[in-house]
A = this chain, B = another copy of it.
Amino acid sequence: MEGPSLLEELDTPALVVDLDVMDWNIERMAALARQAGVRLRPHVKTHKSPWIAHRQIRAGAAGITVAKLGEAEVMIEAGITDIFVAYPIVGEPKLRRLERLLNEVDLMLAVDSVEAAESVAQAVRRSGRATARVCIDVDTGHRRLGLPPGAATVELAERVARIRGLEVVGLMSHAGHLAAASSQPALAEAARRAAEALVETAETLRKRRLAIEHVSPGSTTGAAFEAQVPGVTEIRPGTYVFNDRNTVERWAASEADCALTVLTTVVSRPSPDRAIVDAGSKVLSSDPAAGGAPSFGLIAGRPDLKLERLSEEHGILSVDPAGGELRVGDRLRVIPNHVCPAVNLSDVLYGCRDGRVVREIRVAARGRYR
């Protein structure tokens, strides 16, 4: 490894991963899945790094989830073969890429419409493969992709199952709406209800002779509750590997479980109530805080500092004058609101143990949005 080996020598801003905390996060989620008797298929969009994906697999993950073919390509290159592409694949350029990938790996694919299913089936037929496994994406409340559970999804699944080249093997959902829950009991209840709707729809489909193997709700905030719902076979959390301010706000982690922080330097103290750090939206992203708090990250260990505004290269802190000292040149650590887009802004994460940088982790699938 080139570059500095002490945290203090790192230039800023820098994304620093406490590998002990990360390993603990990986192990804890693997244990949660094991104890509940479900498969764990982490979404790798959070870290976009084959090195970390392999660690998740070694800890017990059954395979990985990706959103885009570009992410799948990077992970296949790194030797990972059990991959679920949880995104409808539409358009000729992508179908050509899919065809090539199917020749190599038995990808599992998500579809949420007959149109997407028919075009994916074309790619399957053009590949050397007789069939590809697909999961139907179901809208359990997030109002993004998918049809509602029950009749609408049952009809869609049956139509997709009749398309030559496709084998309907599962139902998936992403309960993104849990982020809006106002309390942990409300979140738990919403997560359970969403997962149960998925299970019931799977039951209906099985009665109609579709061999639904996978019932897979997916989110970090809901994972602990989803895994307990009888009939759920798999969970697909992503953010848990690092956690972030929003998983803390959603009761799924504590600040101590946040493995990734952005190391930043105070570059200006223009007034007693204001400080400027060198981490702006080009390193943190401008993703808002879950729950609507008007701040762009937590300053670790410094409740007297609030990250109130971001420019591209500036973080503007409001400073409580009754708090501690803060001078030009001081270094702070920011827990980002949302760690996934922050990682996607960097080429390298600095993995450290006990204050030493022990590994530069390449964000190999950064920017692979196609």
Identify the A interface with B (CB < 8 A): 4, 9-14, 45, 67-68, 87-88, 90-94, 97, 112-113, 115-116, 119, 139, 143-147, 176, 265-270, 274, 276, 278, 280-283, 285-288, 309, 311-314, 316, 327-329, 340-341, 344-347, 367, 369-370
B283 with A285: CB separation less than 8 A: no
Q: Which residue of B lies closest to A87 (CB)?
A: B313
A91 with B367: CB separation less than 8 A: no
Give every chain B residue within 8 A of A369 (Cβ-Cβ).
13, 278, 280, 282-283, 313, 345
A91 with B12: CB separation less than 8 A: yes
- Give the distance in Å from the alpha carbon of A347 to the alpha carbon of B282 in the complex: 14
Q: A88-B328, A90-B265, A286-B288 are in contact. List 12 more A-B contacts (CB 8 A).
A: A12-B91, A87-B313, A88-B268, A113-B268, A115-B328, A116-B328, A143-B274, A143-B316, A145-B276, A145-B314, A281-B341, A282-B341
A268 with B344: CB separation less than 8 A: no
Give every chain B residue within 8 A of A340 (Cβ-Cβ).
312
Closest CB-CB distance, A8 to chain B, in whole Å?
Answer: 9
Copy number of this protein in the oligomer?
2
Q: Which residue of B lies closest to A10 (CB)?
A: B93
Give every chain B residue within 8 A of A10 (Cβ-Cβ).
93
Q: List 27 A-B contacts (CB under 8 A).
A: A9-B93, A11-B91, A11-B97, A13-B369, A67-B312, A68-B313, A88-B268, A90-B266, A90-B328, A113-B328, A115-B269, A144-B316, A145-B268, A145-B270, A146-B268, A280-B369, A281-B287, A282-B344, A282-B367, A285-B285, A285-B286, A286-B286, A286-B287, A286-B341, A344-B345, A345-B369, A346-B367
